[in-house]
């Protein structure tokens, strides 16, 4: 595990669009940070810079003690959960979970141990032999999270992971993520539009506006104080 330090991060896209205007956030080891704010305020740009999917125009990004500005996404020791959980349709749940580890030269018995542990936490242990199409939407989203968990990363990045689910499932999966957060205690950066998700999950909320931090604090500080 590790904290994440954003030191005056900036992103200027082609056409001189300044999407992120020098944002600094010190994410503690094990802390769950939720990023909220109106569409276009820079949430996904910020998350993608941390993931390494977008170049950093200016500023410094540390994961643990390591400056990672120029480190490839795969070498950043982070795992990202997307809203479009792209599972491999022809592979069993087991192999969907194991696939990323098989490519990393992790021994077979270690892979099996990690897959079983993640499956137990997510309560998908009975479905390991099924194909994704034989699963419900919620079970699929759990497999997608399982793929992040088995990597045992220093941090999780969530890009609106629940926004494609129906309202009932969203509530259920929100509690699931909350449980995960308690059990694993992994540093997390979570982007959402949903105020309930933000309030339930966040240790600290970061409200962005126009590429800048407008407010930062506990959910109570941000939502309940005048």
Interface ranges with ligand ADP (CB under 6 A): 13, 15, 17, 19, 37, 39-45, 91-92, 94-95, 112, 128-129
Distances from the Cα of 197 to the Cα of 112, 204, 210, angstroms = 32, 12, 22
Is the CB of 13 or the CB of 179 nearer to ligand ADP?
Answer: 13
Min. distance of Cβ 185 from ligand ADP in angstroms? 27
| Least distance CB 189 / ligand ADP (angstroms) | 13
Q: Two tokens at 62?
A: 């540390």
Whether the CB-CB separation of 32 and 158 falls below 8 Å is answered with: no
For ligand ADP, the closer of residues 45 and 141 by Cβ is 45
Render 97-123 in DSSP notation, one character per residue.
HHHHHHTTT--HHHHHHHHHHHHHHHT
Residue closer to ligand ADP (CB basis): 7 or 95: 95
DSSP letter for each residue of 15-56: TTEEEEEEEEEEEPTT-EEEEE-STTSSHHHHHHHHHTSS--
Whichever of 28 and 92 has its CB closer to ligand ADP, that residue is: 92
Shortest CB 41 distance to ligand ADP, Å: 4
Closest among 38, 51, 64 to 11, alpha carbons compared: 51
Minimum distance from residue 89 beta carbon to ligand ADP (Å): 12
- CB of residue 5 vs ligand ADP: minimum separation in angstroms? 20
Which of residues 39 and 70 has its CB atom nearest to ligand ADP in the complex? Answer: 39
Nearer to ligand ADP, 24 or 209 (CB): 209
The backbone torsions φ and ψ at residue 170, rounded to the nearest 5 degrees and listed phi first, read -60, -40
| Helix pair 108-122, 167-184: axis angle to 10 deg | 130
Residue 21 beta carbon to ligand ADP: minimum distance, rounded to whole angstroms: 10
């Amino acid at each position: 595990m590790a904290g994440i330090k954003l030191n005056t991060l900036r992103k200027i896209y082609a056409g001189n669009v300044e999407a992120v205007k020098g944002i600094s956030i010190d994410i503690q080891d094990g802390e769950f940070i939720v990023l909220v704010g109106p569409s276009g305020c820079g949430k996904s740009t910020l998350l993608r810079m941390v993931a390494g999917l977008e170049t950093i125009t200016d500023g410094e990004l540390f994961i643990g003690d390591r400056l990672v500005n120029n480190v490839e996404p795969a070498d950043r020791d982070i795992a990202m959960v997307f809203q479009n959980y792209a599972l491999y349709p022809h592979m069993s749940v087991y192999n969907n979970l194991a696939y990323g580890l098989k490519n990393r030269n992790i021994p077979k018995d270690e892979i099996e141990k990690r897959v079983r542990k993640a499956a137990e936490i997510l309560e998908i242990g009975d479905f390991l032999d099924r194909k994704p199409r034989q699963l419900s939407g919620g079970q699929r989203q759990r497999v997608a999270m399982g793929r992040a968990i088995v990597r045992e990363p220093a941090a999780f990045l969530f890009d609106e992971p629940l926004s494609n689910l129906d309202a009932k499932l969203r509530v259920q999966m929100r509690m699931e993520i909350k449980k995960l957060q308690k059990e694993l205690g992994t540093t997390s950066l979570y982007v959402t539009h949903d105020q309930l998700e933000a309030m339930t999950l966040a240790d600290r909320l970061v409200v962005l506006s126009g590429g800048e931090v407008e407010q930062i604090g506990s959910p109570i500080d941000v939502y309940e104080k005048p």
